[in-house]
Structure 1
Amino acid sequence: MQRDLMPLIQHDLLRKVVLLSGPRQVGKTTLSQQLMADRPGSQYLNYDVAAHRAVITAQSWRQSAPLLVFDEIHKMPRWKSWLKGVCDGRPPEQQVLVTGSARLETFRQAGDSLAGRTLRWRLLPLSVREWCGQQHAQPAQALTHLLSRGGFPEPALAETDEQAQRWRAGYFEGLVREDVLEFSRLQDIRAMRLFAEMLRSRVGSPLSLASLARDLQVSPSTLARYLDILEALFIVFVVRPWHHNIARATLQSPKVYFYDNGLVRGDEGLRFENLVACHLLKQVQWQQDSRGSASGLHYIRTKDGAEVDFVLSEGESLTHLIECKLSDAKPHRALARFADAWPEAQAVQLLRECQVEADLGRIQLRAAADWLAHLQA
């Protein structure tokens, strides 16, 4: 399966070193192999493999390789300075792709040694748009499939639901046991595992770390660190309240969603909201990576409890107000309220099951499958 980012990465490799990050098993290695197939003689080196690590450390790879792919080198001490030397010393025609299953900017090596030398892309799970394009499916079929299987390639393409479930069980356990330990050197992995499990049933709700901390008998600051680690490893992502004052926004309760829709514990409404969140995040990050835009994903909640699931922003302006419903075609009261407060924003009520699309005042009732299929990412 060819991902939509592939031609964009091909183009950027002609100009800069490309940093490609994303969740484990989301398809980075497959995409790298497809890029290498178009460039005979290319070389793939994974820092986790001892033999490859020796070649990386000695810089003894084939100098004639038209494309070098370095995987997981963020685990190497002073990797940014090392990569700067590779960038500056490579032959002019040699292309370099760096991939990693953790957010490369989160690692503690300091300095801006790569400034001006790299371009960033983030590869996320399959979207309705990608599934339709690759599998020649209709948007409604794609949405149903991704709600059931999630957007990671292996379970999405599995022959049976049982195969997909077996993959997911091993995937989640491996993330918590191996990646979290390697990334953070945590002593109490049991508390981290329990925290991650608890988040699975709290998708889409404002998160009280103080309450969870009491249940787990740890400090709120410890849970905040755990959440940062889960974010950095592409296990969950955080959606914070919209506010012009960013500092105030970070003090309010965040909402947490999973990159793997199959990890959500809850009814179809929660799984649907999580899937929409993944699509909106993918759209926002595509705009950031492809255009350098100041796009953002947030939600709105007032002190009196009025809430809209998601808002999209560009700089200090809101562009979209989005509410998710399974089938309720009655305009959401809070959505109507905020649509009046931000008349420049497009107010959309996404329906999992939509009999007919309509415009009711400023609110657009839209079939979620078709609307998501027309996103750019």
Structure 2
Amino acid sequence: MILKCQNTMKDICMNRLYYAAIIEHIQEDHQMLFLMGPRQVGKTTTCNSLSKKYKYFFYFSWDNLNDREKILIGPKAIVEVVGLESLMDCKPIIVFDEIHKYSDWKNFLKGFYDSYFNRASILVTGSARLDIYKKGGDSLMGRYFLYRFHPLSVGEIVDQTFPNTEVRLNPIAISETDFDALWQYGGYPDPFIKANKRFFNRWSNLRFQQLFQEDIRDLTRIQEIKQLEVLANLLKFQVGMQTSYESLAKKVRVTGHTIRNWIEALRSLYYCFEIRPWSKNISRSLLKEPKYYLWDWAQIEDLGARAENFVASHLLKSIQFWTDAGFGCYDLYYIRDKDQREVDFLVTRNDEPWLLIEVKLSSNKAISPALSYFQQVTGAKHAFQVVIDLPWVNRNCFEETRPIIVPAKTFLSQLI
């Protein structure tokens, strides 16, 4: 029987997979829960939806002046607003949004958590990676769990329930309308819901301005904003290619060291992500050059590059969710050797090769011989050539262990 996703676009965006993950965490764990991901990906909307389920819900945003004043006063001001010194019939939910912009955020959270973890469930959301704030402050080790919050994906559109296993054994068909909107307008909720080119263009321009005129200014020491914008634009045209820092440095007119630092800043603010080569047990492998992909694949005009980025984003979301949810330790690589053999992606599970994935836009390409070669070399259980334009097939891709061509609509529906 063919299963169809019946939810509307708006329903999907309001009922995110991460909502189920948050509920499970609140019920099972006492640690703080950190939700980190790009601007406008749905973190705040998802957290605010908790107010419908929980009697006591409090939201404090560093970007709100009144909330910021309370945070600066210290934990006692929050305690007074929430009423933590009074008898309550259930734990309140307290959300701190964008608090990483506060220079002493670690000490604030550490002190608040150590004093009140048994009286409240604490959520922390932010639009920058936590590891750019390693310096200074006491460690939060053991005091939080993390979910990395991603844009919508095929798997999340067809099923927003918390998974019991890594992959769905039964694929679910995504509607052509939803798939086309996801492909053309990306997985950020607003443009996905609107599915309108003019809205997408306006939204994209505003998001780009916020990144470079607000986030870069507030969270980094980079002064050469215009040159950084040039670098960001160049990366759009290098998706899936091995990165030459020196070549980029010549085009942007800065040093290679500066290019590395700037790309790291763009990564920390969720503009792009890095995939490095896998070299273990690969003779004559490439050991250094990473590839970069965008968090918003809809910004990529070249359709072949967009196809590769589309699948890369789905894989990154899946491996990070599986890791964050405790299914194991997963990572994402590409494979290329000096004999020019290459496979787009390798997913490892607990440091062992598991999935090989080659991406094609069209079904008119024969299966890549590199899949069979690298499956033998790495011992990966599965080797898939994922094709964007193939129709959905009601079969479990993961039943196959031989190299095989599979529809993106089927394969991606089995991921997160």
Does 1:264 pair with 2:279? no
Q: Which residue of 1 is the match for residue 359 of structure 2?
A: 324
Matches within 5 A, 1:197-208: 197-208=233-244
* CA drift at 1:226: 0.5
Mean CA deviation greater in 216-225 or 47-56: 47-56
Q: Quick one: distance in 2 between partners of 1:272 and 1:235?
A: 18
1:311·1:322 contact (CA, 8 Å) conserved in 2? yes
CA contact (8 A) 2:285 2:337 kept: no
Deviation at 1:41, TM superposition (A): 3.3
The residue number in structure 2 matching 1:289 is 324
Q: Report the equivalent of 1:209.
A: 245
1:12 partner letter: H
Query: Could you say which residue in structure 2 is the equivalent of 1:45?
Result: 60
Identity %: 34
Query: Are residues 1:2 and 2:15 paired?
Result: yes
Distance 1:356 1:363, change over 3 A: farther
The yes-or-no answer on 1:129 pairing with 2:155 is: yes
Structure 1's 348 and 118: CA in aligned 2 closer, same or farther, altered over 3 A? Answer: same
- Please tell me the root mean square deviation across aligned C-alpha atoms, in Å: 2.4
Higher RCO (Cα < 8 Å, 6 or more apart): 2
Partner of 2:407: 367
Whether the aligned pair in 2 keeps the contact of 1:329 and 1:351 (CA below 8 Å) is no
Distance apart, 1:293 and its partner CA: 2.3
Match of 2:42 among 27, 34, 37: 27
Is structure 2 residue 227 aligned with structure 1 residue 191?
yes
- Which residue number in structure 1 is paired with residue 10 of structure 2? none
Matches of 1:163 and 1:222, distance apart in 2? 35
1:89-141 Cα offsets, whole Å, 9 max, x none, are 1262311100000011221334663111111111100010222347x972554
Q: Would you say 1:57 and 2:97 are equivalent positions?
A: no
Assess if the C-alpha contact under 8 Å between 2:174 and 2:413 holds in 1. Answer: no
Deviations 1:138-181 (A, max 9, x none): 25543322110100001001152211221111112221221112
Q: Is the 8 A contact 1:74 1:100 kept in 2?
A: yes
Distance 1:19 1:304 in 2: 43
The 8 Å contact of residues 129 and 139 in structure 1, kept in 2 or not, is answered as: no
Counterpart CA distance in 2 for 1:287 and 1:31 is 19
How far apart are residue 261 of structure 1 and its match?
A: 1.4
Q: In structure 1, what is the equivalent of residue 376 of structure 2? A: 340
1:338-368 residue CA offsets vs partner (Å, 9 max, x unmatched): 1222234311000112369799992111011
Alignment partner of 1:180: what SS?
helix
- Write the distance in 2 (CA, Å) between the matches of 1:249 and 1:75: 41
Contact map agreement 1:328 1:351 (CA 8 A) in 2:
no
| Closer/same/farther in 2, CA of residues 91 and 132 from structure 1, 3 Å limit | closer
Q: Tell me the equivalent position of 1:72.
A: 98
Among 25, 43, 65, the residue aligned to 1:12: 25
Between the aligned partners of 1:362 and 1:352, the Cα distance in structure 2 is 20
In 1, the alpha carbon distance for the partners of 2:285 and 2:376 equals 22
Match of 1:228 in 2: 264
In 1: Cα distance, 2:226 partner to 2:296 partner: 21
Q: Distance in 2 between matches of 1:67 and 1:249?
A: 49
- Describe the SS at the equivalent of 1:5: helix
Mean Cα displacement is larger for which, 351-360 or 59-68?
Answer: 351-360
Instruction: Name 1:120's counterpart in structure 2.
Output: 146
Distance 1:255 1:117, change over 3 A: same
In structure 1, stretches of 5+ residues that fail to align are: none
**Displacement, 1:64?**
2.9
Structure-1-length-normalised TM-score: 0.92
Partner residue of 2:121?
Answer: 95
| Matched residue type, 1:106 | I
Secondary structure of residue in 1 paired with 2:157: helix
Q: Could you tell me whether the CA contact under 8 Å between 2:104 and 2:137 is conserved in 1?
A: no
Contact 1:102 1:233 in 2 (8 A): yes
Mapped to 1, the partners of 2:143 and 2:17 lie a distance apart of: 24
Counterpart Cα distance in 2 of 1:330 and 1:149: 29
CA distance in 1, matches of 2:245, 2:380: 34
- 2: distance between equivalents of 1:112 and 1:284? 29
Letter matched to residue 176 of structure 1: F
Contact 1:240 1:250 in 2 (8 A): no
Closer, same or farther: CA 355–53 of 1 in aligned 2, 3 Å: closer
SS in 1 for 2:390: coil
Cα 1:250/1:190, change in 2 over 3 Å:
farther
Q: SS state of the match for residue 284, structure 1?
A: helix
The one-letter amino acid paired with 1:237 is F
Is 1:158 equivalent to 2:203 in the alignment?
A: no
Q: Secondary structure at the match of 1:197?
A: helix
- Runs of at least 5 residues in structure 2 that lack an aligned partner in the other structure: 1-13, 85-91, 161-171
Confirm or deny: 8 A CA contact 1:70 1:97 kept in the other structure. yes
